[in-house]
């Protein structure tokens, strides 16, 4: 719904972007156009005046950062003022700090979306907050209104107050609170009747219900499509009965964005939620900074500008540019350039900020760029790699000979020793290793896919998340090398897999128990990252160690192909558990349990391998 406004503003700033220095005339001209754009978008006149005055005050006399253009500087100031006008940074959450049952009263004009929003809210509180919600309709104006809410309640899988004919709204409200208390509900949502316009009778009814139930939140539902009328409605309601928050519905429509912008300034009440569709999950928190970004239509380019201004030393950059022109740009210079860029945050963090560029989402950019090295490698491999050890020019001659001899010996041993494929599939050792590999895979994939999301849940920005997520990964690389080396030196395999697996399981369980406590959670995630990466490469020594030359290949193929099913199952399981419980805690405990099972199965596989050895020994000896 902010498209019209964003198009206009982007047009204004596009014209400013190319210029070197910004004169007072430029500022004046830009602000004139901002004013027209805001008025066009149906922002109330006093709000526009105030807005322009604030931007002008900050723009004139502001020190222009050396690394951004004056136009970008103005965009930044407009963005800041927009966020303030919309209510400051961050969403204002619903107030649920009260003894249960917490009454939430929904008020508003006819057809604004009260009943629909009541259903959406009930679903959200049941799913995300795990609260027991009771829905009650106080709408005695429209015959079918109470049934409408009962249906929505059924969809949201929450109970609704049984309908008793002939009761007044106040009586229904009191009954709802009684049931709420008696039956242990956490939240009681009271949906009132709407009127065509604000009238005495409506306000009186709302006042009486308020007095009878003392709601913790009185949410005014307004239709964004009605523009300035929505703002006037909100003002009248707030003055008459007092509202604690505003829900703007039909933000999915093509309403002009102005109402949202005027709302806070004129009513003083925060917009807490927005409705973005008719379905029950179409309810979102209202984030002023996101809306401001959308109005300016440039993803998070502002953040990029800000960060660039902080870190790139303009003089240094100019020096490098001059060097480049003279063709004297060396590795040293390249390193210094890289250092400046790394100061800006990790690759995915920066790419996430390119959100919207060339019509692609930030995450699409992340995937595109991340695929590039793999594609490059695929193109190079056929030319660099050779077919057999004899041609491997990167090995020393004696290394080549050793490897060839080893392979020959294994081949000789394998002839006549190989067990049938069915026999391998049925062997206890292969079955145990396959199950163990599936379970370890759950740990690996839960870690790979959900680590950033788990960290993000702690409330960090994308950039910080990408830094933090890199720590367990780096520890994983270290763990992998240390454990593999130790295993190769000692020749011991089973414990080198079992112990990291056990540690990873304990780490996952610790993660589940410490969700929401940043330090403890990060330490647990580091333990998981390090241990699970250490367990994986060493694991592949087990099939060769246990199965012998003739059966190892088929065994490895079985374990690998069946075992990789965890790549499909693990994200499903974690996602489902997260949606069902609202946190990652249960999912981490379950995955931790599975990895623990893997740690228990590994020694059993080793024990059963002795049996398989016997199987091979029973085969006729190989011809000399
Ligand atoms: N597109 C869209 N439609 C919505 C949204 N919220 C509500 N609606 C639709 O608006 C219509 C009216 O919604 P209701 O919830 O019945 O409105 P109400 O305020 O309870 O109406 P009364 O009880 O008659 O005063 C329904 O068709 C809803 O599906 C929204 O965010 N987006
Ligand atoms: Mg209704």
Q: Where are the alpha helices (DSSP H) in 359-461?
A: 362-384, 397-414, 421-426, 428-456
In order of start, what are the domains of the chain with their CATH numbers?
A: 3-86 (1.20.120.140), 102-291 (3.40.50.300), 307-384 (no CATH), 416-618 (1.20.1250.20)
Nearest-CA neighbor of 30 among 22, 42, 40, 21? 22
Nearest residue (by CA) to ligand 1, atom 29, is: 278
pTM of the model: 0.53
Res 523: pLDDT: 94
DSSP sequence for 490-506: H---HHHHHHHHHHHHH
Q: Which atom, in ligand 1's list, is nearest to the CA of 194? A: 25
Distance 265 CA to ligand 2 centre (A): 28
CB contact at 8 A, 247 and 122 = no
pLDDT, averaged in runs of 10, over the chain (624 residues): 57 58 70 80 83 83 58 76 83 85 92 93 88 91 86 92 88 93 92 82 87 92 84 84 90 72 83 89 84 64 49 54 57 56 51 65 75 87 83 86 84 65 80 94 89 82 80 92 92 93 96 89 94 91 80 86 90 89 90 96 87 45 37
Distance CA 218, CA 270 (A): 12
User: What's phi and psi for 285, nearest 5 deg?
Assistant: -70, 150
Distance 201 CA to ligand 1 centre (A): 22
Nearest residue (by CA) to ligand 1, atom 27, is: 278
Nearest residue (by CA) to ligand 1, atom 26, is: 113
Distance 528 CA to ligand 2 centre (A): 50
Nearest residue (by CA) to ligand 1, atom 3, is: 278
Other Cβ atoms closer than 10 A to 126: 18
Res 291: pLDDT: 75
Please list, in sequence order, all residues whose beta carbon lies within 8 angstroms of the beta carbon of residue 198, skipping any fewer than 6 positions away. 109, 233, 236, 237, 240
Tell me the ligand closest to 222's alpha carbon: 1
Res 620: pLDDT: 37
Distance 117 CA to ligand 2 centre (A): 9
Tell me the ligand closest to 152's alpha carbon: 1
Please list, in sequence order, all residues whose beta carbon lies within 8 angstroms of the beta carbon of residue 214, skipping any fewer than 6 positions away. 103
Nearest residue (by CA) to ligand 1, atom 13, is: 113
User: What's phi and psi for 430, nearest 5 deg?
Assistant: -65, -40
How far is C-alpha 172 from the geometric centre of its chain's CA atoms?
A: 41
Res 255: pLDDT: 61
Distance CA 22, CA 2 (A): 27
Distance 164 CA to ligand 2 centre (A): 17
Please list, in sequence order, all residues whose beta carbon lies within 8 angstroms of the beta carbon of residue 154, skipping any fewer than 6 positions away. 160
Distance 398 CA to ligand 2 centre (A): 84
Long-range contacts, 338-341 (Cβ 8 Å, 24+): 340/311, 340/312, 340/313, 340/316
Distance CA 145, CA 309 (A): 56
Tokens for 345, please give them: 């945050």
Res 300: pLDDT: 47
Nearest residue (by CA) to ligand 1, atom 17, is: 113
With H, G, I as helix, E, B as strand and everything else as coil, classify residue 163: coil
CB contact at 8 A, 169 and 205 = yes
Please list, in sequence order, all residues whose beta carbon lies within 8 angstroms of the beta carbon of residue 297, skipping any fewer than 6 positions away. 3, 6, 7, 9, 10, 356
Tokens for 441, please give them: 């895979």
Distance CA 32, CA 24 (A): 12
| Ligand 1, CB cutoff 6 Å, lining residues | 108, 110-116, 139, 142, 145, 194, 249-250, 252-253, 275-278, 282
Tell me the ligand closest to 149's alpha carbon: 2
DSSP designation for 160 = B
Distance 264 CA to ligand 2 centre (A): 25
CA triple 474-476-480, angle to 5 deg: 125
Res 29: pLDDT: 76
Res 17: pLDDT: 54
User: What's phi and psi for 596, nearest 5 deg?
Assistant: -60, -40
Nearest residue (by CA) to ligand 1, atom 1, is: 277
């Amino acid at each position: 719904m902010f498209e019209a406004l964003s198009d206009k503003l982007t047009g204004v700033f596009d014209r400013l972007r190319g210029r070197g220095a910004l004169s007072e005339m430029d500022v004046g001209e830009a602000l004139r156009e901002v004013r027209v754009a805001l008025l066009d978008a149906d922002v109330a006149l006093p709000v526009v005046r105030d807005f322009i005055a604030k931007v002008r005050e900050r723009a004139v006399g502001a020190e222009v950062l050396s690394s951004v253009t004056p136009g970008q500087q103005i965009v930044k100031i407009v963005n800041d003022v927009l966020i303030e006008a919309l209510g400051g940074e961050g969403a204002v959450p619903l107030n649920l700090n009260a003894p249960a049952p917490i009454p939430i009263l929904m008020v508003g004009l006819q057809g604004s979306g009260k009943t629909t929003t009541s259903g959406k809210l009930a679903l959200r509180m049941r799913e995300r907050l795990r609260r027991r919600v009771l829905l009650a309709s106080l709408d005695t104006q429209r015959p079918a209104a109470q049934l409408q809410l009962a249906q929505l309640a059924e969809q949201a899988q929450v109970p609704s107050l049984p309908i008793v004919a002939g009761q007044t709204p106040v009586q229904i409200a009191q009954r709802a609170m009684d049931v709420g208390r008696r039956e242990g509900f956490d939240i009681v949502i009271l949906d009132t009747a709407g009127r065509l316009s604000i009238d005495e009778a409506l306000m009186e009814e709302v006042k009486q219900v308020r007095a009878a139930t003392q709601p913790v939140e009185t949410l005014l539902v307004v239709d964004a499509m009605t523009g300035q009328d929505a703002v006037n409605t909100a003002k009248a309601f707030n003055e008459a009965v007092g509202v604690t928050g505003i829900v703007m519905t039909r933000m999915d429509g093509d309403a002009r964005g102005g109402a949202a912008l005027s709302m806070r300034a004129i009513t003083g009440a925060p917009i807490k939620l927005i409705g973005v569709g008719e379905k029950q999950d179409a309810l979102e928190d209202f984030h002023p900074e996101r809306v401001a970004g959308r109005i300016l239509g440039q993803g998070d380019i502002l953040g990029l500008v800000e960060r660039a201004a902080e870190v790139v030393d303009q003089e240094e950059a100019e020096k490098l540019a001059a060097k480049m022109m003279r063709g004297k740009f060396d590795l040293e210079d390249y390193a210094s350039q890289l250092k400046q860029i790394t100061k800006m945050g990790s690759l995915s963090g920066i790419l996430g900020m390119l959100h919207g560029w060339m019509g692609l989402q930030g995450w699409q950019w992340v995937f595109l760029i991340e695929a590039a090295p793999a594609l490059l490698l695929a193109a190079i491999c056929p030319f660099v790699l050779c077919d057999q050890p004899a041609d491997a020019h990167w090995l020393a001659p004696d290394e080549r000979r050793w490897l060839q001899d080893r392979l020959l010996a294994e081949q000789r041993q394998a002839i006549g020793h190989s067990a049938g494929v069915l026999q391998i599939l049925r062997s206890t050792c292969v079955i145990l290793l396959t199950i163990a590999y599936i379970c370890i895979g759950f740990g690996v994939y839960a870690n790979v896919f959900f680590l950033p999301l788990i960290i993000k849940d702690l409330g960090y920005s994308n950039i910080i998340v990408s830094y933090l997520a890199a720590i367990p990964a780096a520890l994983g690389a270290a763990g992998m090398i240390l454990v593999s080396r130790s295993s190769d030196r000692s020749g011991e395999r089973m414990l080198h897999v079992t112990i990291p697996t056990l540690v990873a399981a304990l780490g996952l369980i610790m993660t589940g128990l410490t969700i929401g406590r940043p330090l403890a959670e990060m330490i647990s995630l580091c333990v998981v990252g390090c241990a699970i990466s250490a367990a994986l490469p060493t694991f592949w020594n087990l099939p060769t160690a246990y199965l012998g030359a003739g059966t190892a290949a088929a065994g490895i193929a079985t374990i690998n192909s069946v075992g990789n099913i965890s790549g499909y199952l693990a994200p499903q399981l974690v996602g489902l558990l997260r949606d069902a419980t609202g946190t990652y805690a249960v999912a981490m405990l379950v995955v931790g349990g599975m990895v623990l099972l893997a740690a228990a199965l590994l020694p059993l596989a080793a024990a059963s391998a002795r049996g398989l050895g016997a199987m091979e020994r029973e085969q006729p000896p190989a011809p000399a």
